[in-house]
Structure 1
Amino acid sequence: MSDNITRLLRGDEGEVLYAYNDHLGFATIGIGRLIDKRKGGGITPEESAYLLANDIMRKSMDLDARLPWWKTLSDARRGVLLAMAFQMGIDGLLGFKNTLEAVRTGQYDRAADGMLQSMWAKQTPERAKRMSEQMRTDQWKFKEGT
């Protein structure tokens, strides 16, 4: 039954790989997956963890390709670059040319200072402060309550 029901639903529902509003105006994704909170939609914690793991893998592969030296950093410092790429996209992270050069050459205080002087730090000050401290100290800095 699973192959047939999958074929049936793919044919009837279609497959859309981004959020869209269905014919009744409810947020949906994939093959008719209701995600609209108004109708009890959403995803499970397990599905969220699966998506996050895939996103981390993809961003890591992008960083491997675009900043191959990032693999030589400690876990905590790689975490900063990955978190920034996650938030701003790889191209957004690559805009931090001076900061990235400071990281590449081991000038972590300079890199942290550069992070704090950016537009990103003005837009997300608490996150930027945590990430810059993580870069500076090589110690993980988690948001309180997580």
Structure 2
Amino acid sequence: MMKHVKAECKELVRKMLIRHEGLRLKPYRCSAGKLTIGVGRNLEDKGIREVEAYYMLDNDIDEVTGSLKKKYDWFERLNEVRKAVVINMAFNLGVLGFGAFRKTIALIESGQYEEASREMLRSKWAIQVGYRARELAEMMRSGEELHCPTEEDFHTN
């Protein structure tokens, strides 16, 4: 981390590294054959930090949510749990992939959540993702968050 140098030095190093390494927004193989992204970030040996993963996740959630709001006028009328279900599906499938669920979408739009949940489970996607689909379908049906066990639930005193 560059916390130990002055801002001017950090900015100079930043400019030089961008010039020397380049800025690549998609993964590529560097001259040493390592999977790399950004400005020389070696994904194979270094990876990313947890805080960076959560930062990217938050950006991805915001992007998917914005796309859903633009594409579906009914989205804002859903309760927060059902919005979360739709965001989760669109995150997994892509917004265009989610759009292929025409019957499910029509049922959600018309407030037929129980039937929408059944339709979700009739899909190839449900077979592919297993428990995720069952959890999301139940949340769509009930409009309530499920309590899913966490590591702490298994620890007893």
Amino acid at match of 1:134: M
Q: Deviations over 1:31-78 (max 9, x none)?
A: 001111xx2x11111111111111111111000111121011001000
Alpha-carbon distance in structure 1 between the residues aligned to 2:79 and 2:51: 28
Instruction: List gaps (5 residues or longer) in structure 1.
Output: none
**Aligned partner (choices 128, 133, 136) of residue 128 of structure 1:** 133
TM-score, scaled to structure 2: 0.86
Corresponding position of 2:38 = 30
Q: Find out whether 1:58 has 2:66 as its counterpart.
A: no
Instruction: Give the number of the structure whose residues are more often helix, by fraction.
Output: 1
Contact 1:21/1:27 (CA < 8 Å) preserved in 2? yes
**Aligned partner (choices 8, 13, 20) of residue 21 of structure 2:** 13
The count of aligned residue pairs is 143
Corresponding position of 1:99 = 104
Amino acid at match of 1:131: L
Amino acid at match of 1:116: L
**Greater Rg over alpha carbons, structure:** 2
Corresponding position of 1:110 = 115
Amino acid at match of 2:35: A
- Any idea what SS the aligned residue of 1:25 has? coil
The share of aligned pairs that are identical, in percent, is: 32
Instruction: List gaps (5 residues or longer) in structure 2.
Output: 1-8, 152-157
Q: Is the alpha carbon distance of 1:25 and 1:143 closer, same or farther for their aligned partners in structure 2, counting shifts above 3 Å?
A: farther
Report the Cα offset of residue 139 of structure 1.
Answer: 1.3
- Any idea what SS the aligned residue of 1:18 has? strand
Root-mean-square deviation (CA, aligned residues, Å) is: 1.3
